[in-house]
Amino acid sequence: MKMLLPENVTRKDTKEYEAVDIPISKPAPLTVGENLVKISSLDELGRAAFYGIETLNRIQTIVFDTAYNSNENLLICAPTGAGKTNVALLTVMNVIRQYYINDKIELKKFKVRKKINYEIFCL
**pLDDT tens across 3-23, in order?**
677 778 888 899 999 888 888
In whole angstroms, give the CA distance from residue 35 to residue 56: 10
CB 71 within 8 A of CB 17: no
The predicted structure's pLDDT at residue 25: 77
The predicted structure's pLDDT at residue 1: 59
pTM as predicted = 0.71
83 pLDDT more than 70: yes
The predicted structure's pLDDT at residue 118: 44
Question: What is the CA angle 73-88-118, rounded to 5?
Answer: 60
Q: What is the mean pLDDT of the chain?
A: 85
In whole angstroms, give the CA distance from residue 46 to residue 97: 9
> Which amino acid appears at position 80 of this protein?
T
CA-CA-CA-CA torsion sign (80, 82, 86, 87): negative
Report all structural domains of the chain as residue ranges with CATH numbers, in order of start: 32-123 (3.40.50.300)
